[in-house]
Amino acid sequence: MDTIVLLVTGFLLGSIPTAQIAAYLLAGTDLRERFPTVSGSGVYYAVARWAIVPVGLVDVTKGGLAAYLPYQFGGGAGMAVACGLAAVIGHNWSPWLGLRGGRGLSPFLGMLLVVFPAGVLVLLAALAIGRLVGRTPVLALFGLAVLPGVIIFSGGSDAALRGSAGMLLITVLKRLEANRRRLPRDPALRREVLWRRFWYDRDEERWPPEVGE
């Protein structure tokens, strides 16, 4: 029973739509109508650049708290990882947003702070490089892909390794699912869109399409 309660708590923590709440309160904006993800990046472009900081911190805290709570009830690293991933799933498929959401990287960083802090540095480095070269989605995927190797090389726990592999799978699924956006009927165009979703986390040539229009 404790396990179920902790997993549900982690999911509900993650499901809090921080970005959507911030966008509505600060600008009266529904991110679902303008962006493919309901995340800090939408707040960055649609509301204010500074707003991404508090939104990101809250989202990180959601994952960190979900992973921390099991330790307070006698659980171990495995349970902490499971609850952290539950928060990621809640963030990505929030019931408050019609099973839409973000990509879960912020709550995953919160989980890593609890179970494998060095992993935070790996992902932040990947994101920073991606930002510099204008390929953040590609480098984010790369960072997630190399994280299991970093955990093995550094002697991290098996739970952290399973959590990193789970996060990589969740990320790929969410990118391809793309908040239930429809795929083109044409097979060639469908493959092209899936390719863009996998690598660039978008259907369009430019991101965000609203900027500059």
Tens digit of pLDDT for each residue in 153-208? Answer: 999 999 999 999 999 999 999 999 999 889 999 999 999 999 999 999 988 755 55
Instruction: Identify which of 202, 154, 152, 157 has the alpha carbon closest to the alpha carbon of residue 175.
Output: 202
Answer positive or negative: Cα dihedral of 86, 90, 91, 93. positive
CB 68 within 8 A of CB 82: no
Residue holding tokens 């960055």? Answer: 44
Model confidence at 80, pLDDT cuts 50, 70, 90, reads very high
Mean pLDDT of the chain: 92
Regarding predicted confidence, which is higher, 210 or 28? 28
DSSP 74: T
Percent with pLDDT over 70 in the chain:
95
Model confidence at 137, pLDDT cuts 50, 70, 90, reads very high
Could you tell me the end-to-end alpha-carbon distance of the chain, in angstroms, rounded to an integer?
52
**Sequence ranges of the domains in the chain:** 2-200
Instruction: Identify which of 35, 158, 154 has the alpha carbon closest to the alpha carbon of residue 101.
Output: 35
Mean pLDDT throughout 104-114?
A: 97
Residue holding tokens 């992993």? Answer: 119
At 11-45, the pLDDT tens digits run: 999 999 999 999 999 999 888 887 778 888 889 88
d(CA 29, CA 12): 23
Quote the pLDDT of residue 132.
Answer: 95
At 114-127, the pLDDT tens digits run: 999 999 999 999 99
User: Which residues have a Cβ under 8 Å from the Cβ of 19 and sit 6 or more positions away?
Assistant: 31, 38, 39, 40, 42, 43, 55, 59, 102
- Convert 133-157 to b/e letters by CB count within 10 Å (16 or more is b): eeebbbbbbebbebbbebbeeeebb
Quote the pLDDT of residue 108.
Answer: 98
Asked whether the predicted pLDDT for residue 210 surpasses 60, the reply is: no
Quote the pLDDT of residue 1.
Answer: 58
